[in-house]
Structure formats: structure tokens, C-alpha cells
């Protein structure tokens, strides 16, 4: 049951975590995967690409190719203006939401 709760929480926020990472800098898929799997937000790189496809379909990210010093050309992803707007809306809602939830389930409650 605990794993199920964690999975549902991750599904609700992982897209916005990707937008937040891309707000810092353009990244290629493997970089994004390393960040997200390291934090436990996705299980593997295989779950990342469908997510990136949805973000592209929404117009929140765009892709471009760039030569790599250590191998083949890499596909990088960057945040679009629409993605930055969407991330901004999420940020405005996230903190108040998190405070309310913490108030209900916070430490020290039975």
C-alpha cells in the first residue's frame, strides 16, 4: 500500500519536476533520467521518454540536437515559454497545497 501511495504522488508531480530541471538548463534524456531515478521519481529511462513526448505534445518543452564530445549527437530538451508559464502556475499552487497537506498529516499526529 505504501508503494502505491508513493507511485500516485510521483505521477502527479514528475512532469513538473522535469519542467523545473529544464528551467535550470537544457538537458539530454540521460541527464534527466539520472536526476529523476536518483531521486526516486521514475523507475527507469524507459518511463522518461513517453513523459517527454507528452510535454512536447503540450508545447511545454522542445527538442534540439547537439554534437557530443564523447559520442553521437544528443537530443537535448529545453523549456518553452509555455512550459515556463505552466511551471510558474504549478509553483504558485504547490506551496500552499503542500502546507495544507502537511497541516493534516504533519508530524506528531496519530
Q: Which three cell numbers stand for residue 42?
A: 521514475
Cβ atoms of 82 and 59 closer than 8 Å: yes
CB atoms within 10 A of CB 31: 15
Give how far Cα 105 sits from Cα of 10, 37, 96, Å.
18, 26, 14
CATH topology of domain 2-105: Arc Repressor Mutant, subunit A (1.10.10)
Q: What is the pairing mode between strands 61-68 and 71-79?
A: antiparallel
Which parts of the chain register pLDDT below 70?
Answer: 1-6, 8-9, 108-110
The model carries a pTM of: 0.85
Give how far Cα 62 sits from Cα of 32, 58, 86, 91, 108, Å.
14, 10, 14, 21, 45
The Cα 6–Cα 80 span in angstroms is 29
Cβ atoms of 23 and 79 closer than 8 Å: yes
pLDDT at residue 10 in the model: 73
pLDDT at residue 24 in the model: 97
pLDDT at residue 1 in the model: 45
Amino acid at each position: 500500500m505504501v508503494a502505491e501511495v508513493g507511485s500516485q504522488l510521483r505521477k502527479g508531480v514528475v512532469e513538473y519536476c522535469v519542467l523545473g530541471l529544464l528551467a535550470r538548463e537544457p538537458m539530454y534524456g540521460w541527464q534527466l533520467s539520472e536526476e529523476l531515478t536518483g531521486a526516486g521519481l521514475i523507475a527507469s529511462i524507459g518511463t522518461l521518454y513517453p513523459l517527454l513526448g507528452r510535454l512536447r505534445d503540450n508545447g511545454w518543452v522542445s527538442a534540439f540536437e547537439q554534437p557530443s564530445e564523447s559520442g553521437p549527437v544528443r537530443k537535448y530538451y529545453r523549456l518553452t515559454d509555455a512550459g515556463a508559464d505552466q511551471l510558474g502556475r504549478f509553483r504558485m499552487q504547490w506551496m500552499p497545497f503542500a502546507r495544507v497537506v502537511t497541516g493534516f498529516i504533519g508530524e506528531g499526529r496519530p
